[in-house]
Amino acid sequence: MKRLNLIICFLLQTGFVLAAPELQKEVVGINFPWCIPDPETPYELQSGIKEGDTVFFTWSGVYHNVYLYPSGNCADRTDREYLGESASETSYTFKSEDIGNNLTFVCDVSSHCASGQIVTFANVASANRTENVMYSMTNNPCGDITYLSSSTNDSSSSSSSRRRSSSSRSSFLISFLICGAVVGGLHESFW
């Protein structure tokens, strides 16, 4: 019976370890200046993007919009997806179905796309990949690209993730103390 208690205690501890929250995933927000670039300095191919990352298209002054163009070029508007025309609210979050694909974003206003307002984010990666991520650090013809990094546990906010992690550690500690008392009380008769 005493050995059974010890085994049960061990299984409880193992269960708490296995139930601990998964490793945090890094999610990146990208503030991406959006304009008609000078013909001598077009947008360069962007790399390092992964599922869950969000690109925020930002601009001021001239009217622009943002569309996702599956064709990858200005001439073919087939199945284009409207993302917005507000300089402060137009964004795109890369999804699981984007993995392995190149995604091209254009401004569809007048001749803006043909004038160079087109950018491709190459080879979207899985959020679960283990290698280090190297984001494009190329010069943007319209201003500095800024990367805002945060850790998340799937779609949870970092504060709820911290609460869940703290709660899991507390439960583990309580279980550890109870098992310690049980095993400690059984120590003399067990050994």
pTM of the model: 0.65
| Same-domain check for residues 41 and 72 | yes
| Same-domain check for residues 147 and 84 | yes
Q: How far does the chain reach from its first CA to its final CA, in angstroms?
A: 14
Please report, in tens digits, the pLDDT of each residue of the chain (191 residues total): 555 554 555 544 545 444 444 444 566 888 999 999 999 889 998 988 889 999 999 999 899 999 999 999 999 999 999 999 998 899 999 999 999 999 999 999 999 999 999 999 999 999 886 555 566 666 789 988 888 876 554 443 333 333 333 344 444 445 555 555 555 555 555 44
| Same-domain check for residues 117 and 85 | yes
| Same-domain check for residues 165 and 142 | no
| Same-domain check for residues 65 and 88 | yes
| Same-domain check for residues 84 and 34 | yes
Distances 61 to 34, 87, 109, 172 between C-alpha atoms, Å: 11, 9, 14, 56
The per-residue pLDDT for 23 is 44
| Same-domain check for residues 52 and 10 | no
| Same-domain check for residues 95 and 117 | yes
| Same-domain check for residues 140 and 172 | no
Structural domain total, the chain? 2
| Same-domain check for residues 148 and 171 | no
Contacts with 62 (C-beta within 8 Å, 6 or more apart), sequence order = 35, 36
Quote the domain boundaries for residue 172. Answer: 2-21+158-190
